[in-house]
Amino acid sequence: MTENITQNEFSIEVDLTSLSPSGKVFRMTLSQEDCTRVAKRLRLVSLKSCAGEIKLTHKKSTICAVGSVQAELTRECVSSLEEMDETINESFEIEFLRDDSARDADEDIEEWGLPEIHKGNVFDVGELLIQQLSLSMAPFPRKDGAKSLADVYGVEPEASPFAVLQQNFEKDENNH
């Protein structure tokens, strides 16, 4: 049986054992080639630019990542399918557990409030930046003033042959 190994579109691996106790700041700017690969992964029309900064610190049982991501991208409007620009400028703070001893061994499901578990001594700050970019994007991008394709090209519902009669029998304030 062969295993599918996926390679991240933008990867900067950090050996946690080489970090000082005060941590380290990683400043990243994606090249145009990186932007093209990430745009394909995130199904963007284009990723014009992406940069970020992450301060990584760790203790015996936790890893803490505090940072920000900035990006200029082009997406497709969910309503009109027109291209639209989106600007991302977000900060984040994430804590990871270094081993799963803090959780019950019987616990098989992830809970929303618990930190994600990170195994091993290698941490990919590049992948974390791309994940935070994807979480920062508008979930349903809609261009200002965009008309829905359903409204533009949709079929008007046919009027019922009884619509005229129904108007005569509708109750209003004067006609009880």
160 assigned to some structural domain: no
For residue 19, pLDDT over 60 is answered with yes
Q: What is the mean pLDDT of residues 39-68?
A: 94
Give 142-158 pLDDT, tens digit per residue: 888 777 766 666 666 66
**Nearest CA among 5, 130, 23, 128 for reference residue 73:** 130
* pLDDT > 90 fraction of the chain, expressed in percent and rounded: 45
51 assigned to some structural domain: yes
152 assigned to some structural domain: no
- Secondary structure (3-state) at 100: helix
In angstroms, rounded to a whole number, what is the distance separating the alpha carbons of residues 41 and 173? 59
Q: Which of 32-46, 83-97, 129-143, 146-160 has the lowest mean pLDDT?
A: 146-160
Relative to beta strand 83-97, strand 116-117 is parallel
Q: Give the pLDDT of residue 100.
A: 53
Please say whether the beta carbons of 79 and 143 come within 8 A.
yes
7 assigned to some structural domain: no
Q: How far is CA 160 from CA 155, 157, 168, in A?
A: 15, 9, 14
56 assigned to some structural domain: yes
168 assigned to some structural domain: no
Structure confidence at residue 105 as a pLDDT band (50, 70, 90): very low
Domains contained in the chain, number: 1
Domain coverage including residue 96: 13-146
Give long-range contacts, CB 8 A cutoff, 24+ apart: 145-153: 146/77, 146/79, 146/80, 146/82, 146/84, 147/79, 147/80, 148/79, 148/80, 149/79, 149/80, 149/81
For residue 53, pLDDT over 90 is answered with yes
4 assigned to some structural domain: no
Q: Give the pLDDT of residue 130.
A: 96
132 assigned to some structural domain: yes
